[in-house]
Structure 1
Amino acid sequence: MSLHHLIYLSTPARPFSLQQLHALLRECRINNERRELTGVLFYSEQHFMQLIEGEQDQVQALYQCLQRDARHTNLIKIADKPIRARGFAEWSMAFRCLEGDGAEQGLLDLESVVVQRPTLAAADALLLETMRQRLLAE
């Protein structure tokens, strides 16, 4: 078993309503469970940031699909490497909306969780925290 993770940043093609975000999240969870992928997705009106983890071929296949997905543009791969263990094994797709009342709508609040994952490499935890702070500041 060759675990891998990929982190990317992209620009939404248009702002998403909370209802559209919930639909996207449901779709991600169904597809990720089928592919045995886990991870976390951040959203602001200006950016998506996602960490995807799982078998390398599945991670790469999903990223290829994401590159063709019209819901976002300007994909920038930030990290793409083997990992020893999953950082988000319990989530087929954790989610954090960085604007509005998403947490009150049942979305996960990951502000303190992301950087406290013992299985994430220090550099990846720092990267996620830095990007999270940047998105929060937008």
Structure 2
Amino acid sequence: MGLYQLIYQSQSLIPFETPELDALLRQSRAYNLEHDVTGLLLYTPDGRFLQVLEGEEQEIRNLYYNRISVDPRHYNCRVFSDGSSLYRSFATWTMGFRVATALDLRKLLSYVPPDTPGLLVPRPHTRPELLELLHEFVANSETQPWLEHPL
């Protein structure tokens, strides 16, 4: 099938403090390593997740639609972008992680202003644009050593 990326956001139903985040990351990284999935997870203190999943299309679609979107710990799952890709954007992480703020997510997911005078409607970021913004966010954000887990 080929390499596939899916980017989604959701809202947690339960608080995720350090022990819960650690358990979630350990579980996700073990699953992802076994299924050749890479990606990035952002979490905000107000309980929002933004995640990039990368791998074979069937595997990513199965992971999202049959495991993640039905997980009772969160709701309001919304796919922002998905599709085939030539390469992995987060190839060195079974699941990279960063803490973000609500403002960070608003900036990442904001609409792009019209780029031509005749176009009056803002548009969402394309997947390549959003991935580039996520790379910049990761490069410029604080990390906590216990949360890092490169391949």
TM-score computed with the length of structure 2 as normaliser:
0.67
2:25 paired with 1:19: no
Question: What RMSD over aligned residues (CA atoms) do the two structures have, in Å?
Answer: 2.2
Matches within 5 A, 1:50-89: 50-64=51-65, 65-89=67-91
Give the corresponding residue for 1:104.
none
SS at match of 2:15: coil
Q: Which residue in 1 is equivalent to 2:34?
A: 34
Runs of 4 or more, structure 1, over 6 Å off, are 129-132
Alpha-carbon shift at residue 127 of structure 1 (Å): 5.9
CA contact (8 A) 2:37 2:94 kept: yes
Q: Aligned equivalents of 2:33 and 2:132: distance in 1?
A: 27
How many residue pairs were aligned?
A: 111
* Structure 1: runs of 5+ lacking an equivalent: 100-120, 133-138
Aligned partner of 1:125 in structure 2 is: 131
2:78, 2:98 → 1: CA distance?
A: 19
Q: Percent identity?
A: 36
Query: How far is the alpha carbon of 1:128 from its aligned partner?
Result: 3.8
How big is the shift at 1:131?
9.3
Aligned-partner residue type, residue 79 of structure 2: K
Which blocks of at least 5 consecutive residues in structure 2 are unaligned?
102-126, 139-151
What amino acid sits opposite 2:51 in the alignment? Q
Structure with higher Rg: it is 2
For residues 6 and 78 of structure 2, the distance between their equivalents in structure 1, rounded to whole angstroms, comes to 11
1:95 is matched with 97
8 Å CA contact retained: 2:89, 2:131: no
Cα offset, 1:15, TM superposition: 1.5
1:95 positional shift: 0.5
Indicate the SS of the match to 1:68.
coil
